[in-house]
Amino acid sequence: MRHPLRLRLLLRDLAAGSAFGAMAVSGQLPLWALGVFFTALVLALFNVRLVARHSRLSALGLLVAAVLLGLQLTSGAMNAVVAACSFAGLIAAQRMLSTPDAAAEGQTHLTGLLMVAGGAALSGDMTYALCLIAFGVLASLALALGVVEAAVPDGEPVPVRAVMRPLSAGLAFAVTGAVAFFVLFPRLNWAMVGPRSAPGLGAVSSAGYSNTVRLGGAGTIKGNPRVVLRALLTPDPGTDALDAYWVGRTYDTFDGLEWSNVVGAQQTERQITLRPASDTLLHQRIELLPAYGARTLIALETPSRLGNAMAHTPTGTRTSPVQLQGGGEVRFTVTAPSYTYEAYSLPPDARAGLSSALLEAEKDQLLALPTRLDPRLAQLAARVLQGEKEPLAAARRLASFLQRDYAYTLDQEGTSADPLSDFLFVRKAGHCEHFATALTLMLRTQGIGARLATGFFGGTRVDGGYLVRAGDAHAWTHVLVPGRGFVTVDATPPSHRSSQGPVLLEKLLAIYEAVEARWRNSVVDYSFRDQFELASALVRPPRPPPGARESAAPSRLPPPRAWATAAVIAFLVWRVGRLASRWTGRAPVLEATRFLDRVDAALQKAHVPRFEHETLEDLTTRLAREGHPLALALTPLTRRYLEARFGGRALREGEAEHLLATLRRALDAEAERRAAKPASQTSPTARAS
Amino acid sequence: MRPPARPSFKARLRAFFRPPRTLSVTKTGRTYLVVTFGVGLGALNTGNNLLYLLLGLLLSMVVVSGVLSERCLRDLTVRRVGADAAFAREPFAYRWAVSRKTGHGFALTFSEDLSPLTGTGKLGHLPAGREHIVRADLAAPHRGPLRLSGVRVTTTWPLGLFAKTRVFPLDGMLLVYPRRGYACNEPGPAERGPRGEAGSPRHLDGTGDVAGLRELGVNEDARRVHWLKSAAAGRLLKVEREREERRVWKLALESGLTGDALERRCEELAAQAHQLLDGGNEVGLQLPERALRPSAGASQERRILQALAWVGFEDADVGAEREAA
Tens digits of residue pLDDT in B128-158 = 988 999 999 999 998 999 989 889 999 998 8
A524 contacts B52? CB cut-off 8 A: no
Rounded to an integer, the average pLDDT of B264-279 is: 89
Which chain B residue lies closest to A164 (C-alpha atoms)? B158
B46 contacts A117? CB cut-off 8 A: no
B104 touching chain A per CB within 8 A: yes
Taking contacts as CB-CB distances below 8 angstroms, the residues of chain B near A179 are: 56
Which chain A residue lies closest to B59 (C-alpha atoms)? A178
Residue A276's pLDDT is: 77
User: Quick check: A201 and B78 in contact, CB under 8 A?
Assistant: no
B162 touching chain A per CB within 8 A: no
Chain A and chain B share a number of CB contacts under 8 A equal to 187
A146 contacts B45? CB cut-off 8 A: no
Query: What single-letter amino acid sits at A32?
Result: W
Q: How far is A614 from chain B (nearest CA, A)?
A: 9
- The 3-state DSSP class for residue B136 equals strand
What stretches in chain A show pLDDT beneath 50?
193-208, 218-220, 356, 679-689
Which chain B residue lies closest to A607 (C-alpha atoms)? B3
Q: At what angle do helices A102-122 and B49-73 cross, to 10 degrees?
A: 150
Residue B200's pLDDT is: 60
Quote the distance between the C-alpha of residue B288 and its chain's center. 26
**What is this model's ipTM?**
0.75
Q: How far is B104 from chain A (nearest CA, A)?
A: 8
Taking contacts as CB-CB distances below 8 angstroms, the residues of chain B near A158 are: 124
B28 contacts A109? CB cut-off 8 A: yes
Mutation target to probe the B interface, by most B beta carbons within 10 A, among A25, A125, A148 is: A148
Mutation target to probe the A interface, by most A beta carbons within 10 A, among B12, B48, B72, B156 is: B48
Q: How far is B24 from chain A (nearest CA, A)?
A: 15
DSSP H helix total and E strand total for chain B: 7, 16
B56 contacts A185? CB cut-off 8 A: yes
- Consecutive H or E run containing B69: helix B49-73
Rounded to an integer, the average pLDDT of B73-101 is: 91
**Touching A: B residues 127-156, CB under 8 Å:** 127, 156
Mutation target to probe the B interface, by most B beta carbons within 10 A, among A182, A589, A618 is: A182
* DSSP line for A59-115: HHHHHHHHHHHHHHHHTTSS-HHHHHHHHHHHHHHHHHTS---HHHHHHHHHHHHHH
Residue A549's pLDDT is: 61
Which chain B residue lies closest to A616 (C-alpha atoms)? B4
pLDDT digits (tens, 9 = 90+) for B79-90: 999 898 999 988
Q: Is the pLDDT of residue B222 over 70?
A: yes
User: Quick check: B107 and A147 in contact, CB under 8 A?
Assistant: yes
Whether the CA torsion A651, A652, A655, A657 is positive or negative: it is positive
| Nearest neighbour of A147 by CB, restricted to B20, B39, B158 | B158
Query: What single-letter amino acid sits at B151?
Result: V
| Nearest neighbour of B48 by CB, restricted to A147, A170, A314 | A314
Taking contacts as CB-CB distances below 8 angstroms, the residues of chain B near A604 are: 3
B38 contacts A140? CB cut-off 8 A: no
Quote the distance between the C-alpha of residue A331 and its chain's center. 25
Neighbouring C-alpha atoms within 13 Å toward the C-beta of B273: 35
CA distances for A531 relative to A317, A527, B243, angstroms: 15, 6, 97
pLDDT digits (tens, 9 = 90+) for B290-302: 889 888 888 999 9
Q: How far is A615 from chain B (nearest CA, A)?
A: 10
A117 contacts B54? CB cut-off 8 A: yes
Alpha-carbon gap, residue A51 to A687, rounded angstroms: 110
Taking contacts as CB-CB distances below 8 angstroms, the residues of chain B near A590 are: 16
**Touching A: B residues 27-56, CB under 8 Å:** 27-28, 31-32, 35, 38-39, 42, 44-56
Taking contacts as CB-CB distances below 8 angstroms, the residues of chain B near A163 are: 106, 125
